[in-house]
Amino acid sequence: MAGTGRFDYLDGIRAVAIGAVLALHWFSWYTPFFHGGSVGVDVFFVLSGFIITTMLWRTPLDGSALATWGAFVRRRVVRLYPALVGLVVGGTVLYALVPWAPVDPVEVARRGVVVLTQTSALWAADQHGSLWLPGLQPFGQTWSLAVEWYFYLAWPVALLAARRRGWSARRLATVCVLVAVAAYAAALPLGAFWFYFGPLERSAELLVGAALALWFAAGGRPTRPTRHATAVALLALAALSAYVVLGPDGKEPLYRLAGVPVAVVATVLLIHTGYGNQQGAVTRLLSHRWLASVGRYSYSLYLWHIVPFLLLEDAPGGVPKAVLGVVAVTAAVTLTVLSYRLLERPFLRPRGDLLSPRSGHPAAPAPTPGRRPRSTTG
């Protein structure tokens, strides 16, 4: 919601997440640092679980559970698929136009079908390949969307069933925490590929975000804007940033033992500290209009950020790598802006009615006159 810092704050957390991913996929090509940027995906999953659960818990149960679930899925399709189709079509065209493209455009189109049917996780299970899904180039980054779609299809059914059976938000939050801990523990013995890409550990992160949303729904309040709260938020942001710069990538054991806990706890603390509060240095920082803008573009940026780099990696002519990097970044930003403005923004709907802190939360500040609340779904 413009001017309140509330929705800008959530977008600011998205900006932190996409910034970590960009650090991994852009800067680690040129420096020995930033391999820990893989934790950006963990931040996205926790935040997604929080937002989706908040919306689902507050959605009126006017019709049947099936109708409510169907309406939710339709909103997700309308929100996510235009930009995803744009990636598949645009990526296929680019690979057809660039003479040195590393993959035949017909094969790129075939991989696009895998992406659009959200079966990349099933496809990956049959590949036994490297951690970074080279066989899905240039769409390997969409694996996380497939994992989220499993959550979108299954979690609303469980949550709506719990609501209809009269479960309290606090009871369901407790179950979420217990299942999340069990899922994370069960994922620890898995190999690097399945721990990183598999749904087990990612479900744990989504459920942690869901538990926080339900805790708020049960009457829990965000941290008051005290010096102690500001210090905790700063520590969380610093720990997350330190891991991004110095930590190892998702193949290493330290990622699962330290990177994941740091990312999950830091995200919970950041949401808990800033949701519904406008005070505090970290809240003001993450609510800054520049960071919030990056967060609003984060979905399209995530989709397109790696495609130009993959295309230019084998460019002929001995062009310096630094020059290719500048060209790739410029192309990625341009494609991101086009995707957001043409394929995302026209389909966004304000969801301030379902996301504003209320029902046991501090009263939400009034929106800036003359402005509509921006959507923070997805």
The span from the CA of 139 to the CA of 120, in Å, is 9
pLDDT tens-digit profile of 146-202?
Answer: 899 999 999 999 999 999 899 999 999 999 999 999 999 999 999 888 899 888 999
What pLDDT does residue 361 have?
A: 41
Closest CA to 211 of 59, 52, 353: 52
The span from the CA of 217 to the CA of 193, in Å, is 35
Average pLDDT for the chain: 86
The span from the CA of 142 to the CA of 60, in Å, is 31
361 Rama sector, left if φ>0, alpha if ψ -120 to 50, beta otherwise:
beta
Closest CA to 38 of 272, 159, 171, 202: 202
pLDDT of 322 higher than 90: no
pLDDT band at 360 (very low <50, low <70, confident <90, very high): very low
Residues 6+ apart with CB under 8 A from 25: 37, 305, 306, 309
Percent of the chain whose pLDDT exceeds 90: 60
What pLDDT does residue 366 have?
A: 35
Closest CA to 336 of 26, 105, 121: 26
What pLDDT does residue 121 have?
A: 60
Closest CA to 2 of 282, 376, 332, 260: 376
Confirm if 375 and 348 have CB atoms less than 8 A apart.
yes
What pLDDT does residue 29 have?
A: 73
Torsion of CA 44, 45, 50, 56, to 10 degrees: 120
Higher-confidence residue of 357 and 72: namely: 72
What pLDDT does residue 377 have?
A: 44
The span from the CA of 290 to the CA of 8, in Å, is 10
Lowest mean pLDDT across 33-37, 127-131, 354-358: 127-131
* For range 305-314, the mean pLDDT: 91
* For range 115-123, the mean pLDDT: 74
What pLDDT does residue 247 have?
A: 95
* For range 251-259, the mean pLDDT: 95
The span from the CA of 378 to the CA of 361, in Å, is 22
